[in-house]
C-alpha cells in the first residue's frame, strides 16, 4: 500500500513537471533565441543554449528592424500602445464602476434590460462593428489616430467593465445603502463615501483585465490605425512578416518579448488579480 | 433591491438613469446601430466603397458559393472541436492533478497560466519560429538523431490549421485549469468524505460526484472557449497569415481580408453577419438563462 501510494505521488509530480515544461519551453526558446546571433541559430537548434550571449537582436528589434517599409524598430509602436492603453483603460474602468453602481444599487424599471443589452457586447464578434466603425471614424477625422483607437476600446470595453463592477457590487449588502440614505446621503455621496472605498479589489481586477485586453489587441489596431498610430501588436506582426534576405528569428523573438513584457510584468506582480479577472467573466457572482 | 421612493425627490429618481445614459447611448448606437448598419451593408453591392443601394441577398449568394468561405467555415469546425475539446481535456486533467494537495501548487499554477497574459500575436510569432520547417522543431529532432523526421505543417495546406490548434491549446489550456481548480475548491468536502467512507475510488468520486457538481463551470468554460474560437483572428494572422494560400483561413480572417484588403465590403459585411448569427445562437440562450437565474435570486 505504502509503495503504491509512493508510486502515485511520484507519477503525479512527474506529470505536473512535464506539463510545466510544456508551458515553459516556448518562453525558454524565445529568450535563448533572442540572445543568439543569426549564425548561431543556423548551426544550433531550438533547445541549445546560447554560446555567446548578445543583445544585438534586442536593440535591433527596438530601434532599427524593418516593419514593412520603415525601419525604426518597435519603439514607436510601443509608445503608441502606451498612449492608447492609459486613457482607454482609465475611461472604460470609470464608466464601468458608475454603470455597475447604478445597475446593482439603483435599479429602475428597465435597468435589467439595459444590463442585458450592454452584456451582449461582451460576447458579440467585433467583426460586425468594423466596417461601420471605420466609416464613422473617417467621418470624424479620427481614422488612423490614437484617439480613434481609444474611443473604440472604450466603446467595446465598457461591456466587460460594467459586468465586473455590477457583479461585485451585487455582493455589497443593500442595507448599507439604505442606512446611508436614511442618514440623508444621496447618489454621489454614497458612491464616493461607501461604495468606492470598498472597491479596491474590483478596481484592480478591472484595470489589469482592461490593460491586458487593450495592450494585446490586434484586430482594432490593424483595422483602425495605420502608420503613425499603430499599436505594438501590429508592429510585431509587421516585423515578423517583413521578408528579409536572411530570416532573423532572433530579432523576431526579441520583438515578441518586447511586446509581451508589459503584460508579463503585470502578471508577475499582480497575478492574483489577473486570475480573478479571468474567472470573473466566467463565474458570476 | 433599492427602488427609488417618492420622498427621495426628483433628482434622486432621475440621476441613476441620467448617469447610465451615456453608456446606454454608446451601446445603442455603436453596438446595435452598427449591427444594423453592417446588416444593411450586407444587402448592398458595396465594393471598395460602401454603396447604399439595396441589392437583396446577392452577397449571401456569393458567400455561399465561395470556396474560400467554406474553407474558413470548415477550418473553424476543425479548430473549434480540437481547441475546445483539447483545452477542456488538458485543463480538467491538470486541475484534478493540482487538486491532490500538491507542494508548490501556487508556483505551478502561475506557470500554467502565464501564456494567457500574452497576446495571440506574441504566441503566433513564437510558434511560427518553433514550428518552422528547417530550423525549428525539425532541426531539433534531426540533431537528436531522428533524421527522417519532417514537420512541415506550417507550409502544408492540408495541415496548416492544426498548427493554429497547437498554439491555441498552449495559450488557453492553463486558463481552463484555473477555472476548474476554482470550481473544485468550491465542492463541499463532506460529500467527498462520505463517498470515501462508502469505499468509492478516487477516479470514481471525480467522475460520478465532483464533475457533475461542476456542471455550471463546464458550461461557462465551454461558452468562453467557443467564443474565443469564433473570434480567433490574431493567432491565425501571426502564425500562418491564413496561408498557405487561404488554407488556414477562419471566418474572422476571411472577413478581414474581404472587407479591408480585397475591397469586397458587401461580402465582408455578409460574412460578419454570419459570425454574429453563430455567436448569438450560442450566447443569447446562455445570457437569458443567467439573467433569469439572477432575478430569481
Query: ipTM of the assembly?
Result: 0.90
Instruction: Tell if the CB–CB gap between A111 and B20 is shorter than 8 Å.
Output: yes
How confident is the model at residue A245, as a pLDDT? 67
pTM of the full structure: 0.90
Among A73, A30, A20, CA closest to A50: A30
Q: Indicate whether B4 pLDDT > 50.
A: no
Percent above pLDDT 90 for chain A:
50
Among B202, B204, B206, CA closest to B180: B206
Helix (H), strand (E) at residue B59: helix B58-65
Confidence of residue B6 (pLDDT cuts 50, 70, 90): very low
Query: Cβ distance A131 to B272 under 8 Å?
Result: yes
State how far the Cα of B150 lies from the Cα of B161, in Å rounded to an integer.
17
Q: Indicate whether A23 pLDDT > 90.
A: yes
Among B65, B245, B66, CA closest to B159: B245
**B175: nearest CA in chain A?**
A278
**A105: nearest CA in chain B?**
B2
Q: Indicate whether B164 pLDDT > 90.
A: yes
Q: Is B137 exposed, middle or buried (0-12, 13-18, 19+ CB in 10 A)?
A: buried
- At residue A53, φ and ψ (nearest 5 deg) are -75, 125
Confidence of residue B170 (pLDDT cuts 50, 70, 90): very high
Q: pLDDT tens digits, residue range B124-156?
A: 999 999 998 878 888 888 888 887 888 888 888
- Of A188, A236, A264, Cβ closest to residue B117: A264
Q: pLDDT tens digits, residue range A169-225?
A: 998 899 988 899 888 888 899 999 999 999 998 999 899 989 999 999 999 999 998
| Residues in B touching A155 (Cβ below 8 Å) | 26, 30-31
Four-point Cα dihedral A158, A160, A162, A164, nearest 10: -150
Q: Indicate whether B179 pLDDT > 70.
A: yes
How confident is the model at residue B157, as a pLDDT? 83
Q: pLDDT tens digits, residue range A98-112?
A: 999 999 999 888 888
| Residues in B touching A256 (Cβ below 8 Å) | 121-122, 125-126
Confidence of residue A281 (pLDDT cuts 50, 70, 90): low
Among B230, B17, B265, CA closest to A109: B17
How confident is the model at residue B8, as a pLDDT? 59
Q: How far is A33 from chain B (nearest CA, A)?
A: 10
Average pLDDT across chain B, whole number:
87
Helix (H), strand (E) at residue B119: none
Q: Is B155 on the interface with A (CB under 8 A)?
A: no
State how far the Cα of B67 lies from the Cα of B73, in Å rounded to an integer.
10
Query: Cβ distance B268 to B259 under 8 Å?
Result: yes
State how far the Cα of A181 lies from the Cα of B15, in Å rounded to an integer.
15
Among B198, B214, B218, CA closest to B206: B214
Residue B155 DSSP class: G
Sign, CA torsion B270/B274/B275/B279 = positive
DSSP calls for chain A: -HHHHHHHHHHHHHHHHHHHHHHHHHHHHHHHHHTS-HHHHHHS-TTPPPSS---HHHHIIIII--BTTB---SHHHHHHHHHHHHHHHHHHHHHHHHHHHHHHHS--TTHHHHHHHHHHHHHS-THHHHHHHHHHHHHTT-TTSHHHHHHHHHHHHHHHHHHHHHHHHHTS-HHHHHHHHHTT--HHHHIIIIIGGG-HHHHHHHHHHHHHHHHH--HHHHHH--GGG--HHHHHHHHHHS--SS--HHHHHHHHHHHHHHHHHHHHHHHHHHHHHHHHHHS--
Lookup: cell for A155 = 466603446
DSSP calls for B202-227: HHHHIIIIIHHHTHHHHHHHHHHHHH
The residue extents of the domains of chain B are 65-296
Lookup: cell for A61 = 528589434
Query: Cβ distance B43 to B57 under 8 Å?
Result: yes
Chains A–B, number of C-beta pairs less than 8 Å apart: 284
Task: Output the CA–CA distances (angstroms, integers) from residue A107 to A103, A117, A167, A224, in the order listed.
Answer: 5, 15, 13, 36
How confident is the model at residue B294, as a pLDDT? 60
Q: Is B23 on the interface with A (CB under 8 A)?
A: yes
State how far the Cα of B64 lies from the Cα of A18, in Å rounded to an integer.
45
The distance between the two most distant Cα atoms of chain B, rounded to a whole number of Å, is 84
Lookup: cell for B132 = 518552422
Q: Which fold, A75-282?
A: MetI-like fold (1.10.3720)
The residue extents of the domains of chain A are 2-54, 75-282
Mutate to test the interface with B, among A111, A127, A243 (most CBs of B within 10 A): A127
Phi-psi region at A67: left, alpha or beta (left = phi > 0; alpha = psi -120 to 50) = beta
Instruction: Tell if the CB–CB gap between B108 and A274 is shorter than 8 Å.
Output: no
Confidence of residue B269 (pLDDT cuts 50, 70, 90): very high
Query: Cβ distance A220 to A85 under 8 Å?
Result: no
| Residues in A touching B143 (Cβ below 8 Å) | 45
Average pLDDT across chain A, whole number:
88
Q: Is B8 on the interface with A (CB under 8 A)?
A: yes
Lookup: cell for A147 = 484617439
Coil, strand or helix at B44 = strand
Total residues found in chain A within this entry: 285
More confident residue, A280 or B262: B262
Among B53, B100, B297, CA closest to B206: B100
| Residues in A touching B34 (Cβ below 8 Å) | 128-129, 132-133
Q: How far is A145 from chain B (nearest CA, A)?
A: 17
| Burial state string for B1-20 with b = 16 or more CB within 10 A and e = fewer than 16 | ebebeeeeeeeebebbbebb
Task: Please provide the CATH number assigned to the domain covering B65-296.
Answer: 1.10.3720.10
State how far the Cα of A111 lies from the Cα of B16, in Å rounded to an integer.
10
Instruction: Tell if the CB–CB gap between A12 and B102 is shorter than 8 Å.
Output: yes
Query: Cβ distance A236 to B121 under 8 Å?
Result: yes
- Of B15, B115, B251, Cβ closest to residue A187: B15
**Taking a contact as any Cβ pair under 8 Å apart, which residues of chain B between 76 and 135 contact chain A?**
90, 94, 97-98, 100, 102, 108, 110-123, 125-130, 132, 135
State how far the Cα of B1 lies from the Cα of B12, in Å rounded to an integer.
15
Amino acid at each position: 500500500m505504502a509503495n503504491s501510494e509512493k508510486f502515485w505521488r511520484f507519477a503525479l509530480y512527474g506529470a505536473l513537471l512535464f506539463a510545466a515544461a510544456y508551458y515553459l519551453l516556448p518562453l525558454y526558446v524565445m529568450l535563448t533565441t533572442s540572445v543568439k546571433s543569426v549564425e548561431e541559430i543556423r548551426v544550433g537548434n531550438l533547445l541549445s543554449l546560447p554560446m555567446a550571449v548578445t543583445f544585438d537582436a534586442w536593440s535591433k528589434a527596438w530601434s532599427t528592424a524593418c516593419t514593412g517599409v520603415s525601419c525604426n524598430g518597435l519603439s514607436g509602436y510601443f509608445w503608441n500602445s502606451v498612449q492608447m492603453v492609459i486613457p482607454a483603460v482609465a475611461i472604460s474602468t470609470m464608466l464601468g464602476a458608475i454603470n455597475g453602481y447604478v445597475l446593482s444599487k439603483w435599479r429602475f424599471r428597465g435597468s435589467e434590460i439595459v444590463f442585458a443589452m450592454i452584456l451582449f457586447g461582451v460576447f458579440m464578434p467585433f467583426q460586425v462593428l468594423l466596417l461601420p466603425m471605420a466609416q464613422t471614424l473617417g467621418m470624424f477625422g479620427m481614422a488612423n489616430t490614437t484617439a480613434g483607437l481609444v474611443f473604440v476600446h472604450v466603446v467595446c470595453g465598457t461591456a466587460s467593465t460594467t459586468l465586473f463592477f455590477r457583479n461585485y457590487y451585487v455582493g455589497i449588502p443593500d442595507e448599507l445603502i439604505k442606512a446611508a440614505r436614511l442618514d440623508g446621503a444621496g447618489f454621489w455621496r454614497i458612491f464616493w463615501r461607501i461604495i468606492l472605498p470598498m472597491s479596491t479589489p474590483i478596481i484592480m481586477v478591472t484595470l489589469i483585465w482592461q490593460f491586458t485586453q487593450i495592450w494585446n489587441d490586434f484586430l482594432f489596431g490593424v483595422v483602425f490605425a495605420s502608420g503613425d498610430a499603430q499599436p505594438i501588436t501590429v508592429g510585431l506582426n509587421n516585423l515578423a512578416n517583413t521578408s528579409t534576405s536572411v530570416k532573423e528569428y532572433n530579432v523576431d523573438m526579441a520583438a515578441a518579448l518586447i511586446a509581451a513584457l508589459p503584460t508579463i510584468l503585470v502578471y508577475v506582480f499582480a497575478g492574483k488579480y489577473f486570475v480573478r479577472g479571468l474567472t470573473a467573466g466566467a463565474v458570476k457572482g | 433591491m433599492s427602488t427609488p421612493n417618492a420622498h427621495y425627490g426628483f433628482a434622486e429618481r432621475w440621476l441613476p438613469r441620467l448617469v447610465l445614459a451615456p453608456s446606454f447611448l454608446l451601446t445603442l448606437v455603436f453596438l446595435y446601430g452598427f449591427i444594423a448598419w453592417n446588416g444593411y451593408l450586407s444587402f448592398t453591392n458595396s465594393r471598395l466603397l460602401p454603396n447604399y443601394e439595396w441589392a437583396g441577398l446577392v452577397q449571401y449568394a456569393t458567400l455561399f458559393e465561395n470556396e474560400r468561405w467554406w474553407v474558413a467555415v470548415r477550418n473553424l469546425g476543425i479548430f473549434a472541436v480540437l481547441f475546445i475539446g483539447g483545452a477542456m481535456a488538458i485543463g480538467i486533467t491538470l486541475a484534478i492533478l493540482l487538486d491532490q494537495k500538491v507542494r508548490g501548487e501556487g508556483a505551478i499554477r502561475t506557470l500554467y497560466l502565464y501564456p494567457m497574459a500574452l497576446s495571440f500575436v506574441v504566441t503566433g510569432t513564437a510558434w511560427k519560429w518553433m514550428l518552422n520547417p528547417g530550423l525549428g522543431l525539425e532541426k531539433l529532432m534531426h540533431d537528436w538523431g531522428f533524421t527522417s523526421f519532417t514537420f512541415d505543417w506550417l507550409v502544408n495546406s492540408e495541415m496548416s490549421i492544426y498548427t493554429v490548434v497547437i498554439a491555441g491549446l498552449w495559450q488557453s489550456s492553463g486558463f481552463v485549469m484555473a477555472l476548474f481548480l476554482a470550481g473544485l475548491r468550491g465542492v463541499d468536502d463532506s460529500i467527498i468524505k462520505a463517498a470515501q467512507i462508502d469505499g468509492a475510488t478516487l477516479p470514481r468520486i471525480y467522475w460520478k460526484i465532483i464533475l457533475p457538481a461542476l456542471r455550471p463551470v463546464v458550461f461557462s468554460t465551454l461558452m468562453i472557449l467557443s467564443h474565443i474560437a469564433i473570434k480567433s483572428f490574431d493567432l491565425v494572422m501571426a502564425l500562418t497569415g491564413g496561408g498557405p494560400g487561404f488554407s488556414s483561413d477562419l471566418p474572422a480572417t476571411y472577413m478581414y481580408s474581404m472587407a479591408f484588403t480585397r475591397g469586397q465590403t458587401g461580402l465582408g459585411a455578409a460574412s460578419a453577419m454570419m459570425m454574429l448569427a453563430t455567436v448569438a445562437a450560442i450566447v443569447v440562450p446562455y445570457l437569458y438563462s443567467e439573467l433569469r437565474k439572477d432575478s430569481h435570486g
